A and B are shown apart, each in its own frame.
Chain A
Amino acid sequence: MTKIFHEIRDPIHVFIHLDWYEKKVLDSRPFQRLRNITQLALTYLLYPGATHKRFEHSLGVMELAGRVFEVVTKNANLTDEVRELLPDLGNPDALHYWNRVLRMAALCHDIGHLPFSHAAEDELLPKGWNHERLSRTLIESEEMCAIWKDMVPPLDPQHIVKLALGARKATDLEFSKWERILSEIIVGDAFGVDRIDYLLRDSHHTGVAYGKFDHYRLIDELRILPSVESADEAALGINGGGIYSAEALALARYFMFSQVYYHPIRLIYDHHLKDFLTAWLSRDTLLMEGSFPIDVEGHLRTTDDEVNAAMRLAASDPKYSGHIPASCIMKHSHFKVLYERDPQDVKVNSEPGAAIAIAAECEFGKDAVRYSKPKVKNVATDFPVRGRDGRILPAISASETLSKLQPTAMEYVFIDPKVKTKAKQWLEKNRKSILATAREQEDEENEAQPKSGDAHSIEPRNAEKG
């Protein structure tokens, strides 16, 4: 007899439950490819346990999405106001359909990731492409559409795309209120289950305990509430009783970014990997044409395995493309931190790291310097909280802790270890003058080149935005 329901053991969620169709997606080539895509790129060089893959993360996201859906659509957890805003909540057939769409979208949200989940998509993919667009291509592919079509009722691939990518990435699609709420369950800034799963899972595998929080309580207290700004819109929010677990989630995120995701050694390994990939993809071959493939078959055959094999080969012999960055990775001889952002320097120059990196490139050559300014992560405080008296409050007003959490900027300049001592001495001597000179040039550059920063790979803050 064919088994209809399946369970998979998982270190974070104990069991992950799948139905027959979800098992078909799990067995599909796009999903199986995720077994060979590491979740945290080369972080395992720093935290040896971090060898987990997008495969188990995607399963975890589906499991959590299902749990959240169950909580927020439960009759006892809804108010008449919300039912009126979202009529689908009163229609059992619609709820059944959307639960399936949500779980499939959660399962497929990462299938477009490049090898090593690499973030440098601008350099490694053709213009206009990113991993979300690749995920969309796969969700809409013939292979996956055969599964959606076979289901009863059949799923509309565009619905899956909307929930998997969210409004930020599926900018050409119009979202209904209901679709916005459902996509928030997966990719939302405040309570997206993608985020909940990766924090818990990455924390577990790296051994960095700060990423843990009481997600059981958090999920149990999630509610669809009228939005803070207008009662005519709904948003994913939380009951007042769950605010402490929401605070814990925000703190976990802050710690994981500072301790793991934006750790300077992880950032420099990312640079070396990008340098290797750029060289490897530009080698003399008709297959790659300077970027990762964007067609379904090309994407499916490119995983960490292919990159690892090429990297090992390149590290062994200078005649191969990308020999130097491959050696930095394989021999653990990464560039060292020359400069780390100091808040006092920001008062003199808006991007002190960029100024120092540009000056260091002039002094030691472009190949000896790398600069990182990872994207500042906002503290999601725009969700509604239902107080004990039934009032809807903005989270920032309901939580002293959330109101005090500030986004943090990080900036690093890295230097080739061969010139590290010399570079340290040079920086000590010239730091003040570099920052002051660069400051005088900021407005001039802005006047001359309003959009693109400068000709280097280092792009200072665009003063036009700020």
Chain B
Amino acid sequence: MPKRITVPFGPQHPVLPEPIHLDLVLEDEKVVDVLPSIGYVHRGLEKLVEKREFTEYIYVAERICGICSYIHSNTYAQGIEKIMNIEVPERAQYLRTIWSEYSRLHSHLLWLGLFADGMGFESVFMNAWRLREHVLDDMEATTGGRVIQGVCKVGGVRKDIAPEKLDEMLKGLKGMEHELHDLTNVFLNDSSVSHRLRGAGVLQKGDAYTLGAVGPTARGSGIAIDLRQTGYAAYGKINFKPVVEQAGDSYARCAVRAKEMFTSIDIIEQCIKKIPDGPVDVKVTGAPDGEYFARAEQPRGEVVHYIKGNGKKNLVRHRVRTPTFTNIPPLVTLLKGCELADVPVIVLSIDPCVGCAER
């Protein structure tokens, strides 16, 4: 029997954008066991609800993560609005949907770049980030922030987008689409990429379900879960189908994200065509009294914000369950039995966002 050795992986590692530590137990070059540990970037944001008013806390909630920031604020606002029975104007709902999809686009482009970099394909990394810049420019022109938008508030949104700007945004996205096709073509059809990804880290459908995988990790294994189908914000009025792949390997997870970008562009197009006129926010008075589980689909999967208030300006409890946290048990299963050289690619394939997971 070969001797077992333990190799520490992370928290500082060239492929890891954020700190997660994995103890890899190896037999020769094969990973037989994985012990994950987190806690390197814990900031205690949830405790801050006791000191900040619930309307100001949304800016703190948005800063849980630097990539899926907008959707965190959206989910938090949804929770408060449900507790306080606030009816958000329809235009605000559509604007929230547009910004959510923009944030998904930029997150997936970021991830495709990092993934290519993890495989050693640096020119694709640069190209993905160049395309992401178009998305970020539109975000900045409409919200004022590139990655931290700060545009969502309890009771609506803070900024409106002029109809001419909406048309311009749509034109820009349509112009970007063929460049996106060129980019995703590399991930989907290039032989060297598929040689690296196919068969690396296979997650069976049953495992994905029992381990509670969410988002593209689950959809890459053939489970058609997508929280957008519950119809929060304006998703109920939009036609779309979740992208599902059956293979369950790194290639399938990559393909889900690559194809989801086109779904996002399609959703934005439908929103821009259907968006009604009207106000974008309502005045909020009083304070939340009650509790609610708000759920939404982030680029990485389902996020849950648990909010509890007692009728005062400060909330009593705020708890966030982020998609990366849920995807760590499937990651451990994925890594068992793989080669050491495949570990970076497999870790990146679940799109780990540790800043989110630890808050």
Do A and B associate with each other?
no
B interface list, Cβ under 8 A from A: none
Binding site for B on A (CB under 8 A): none
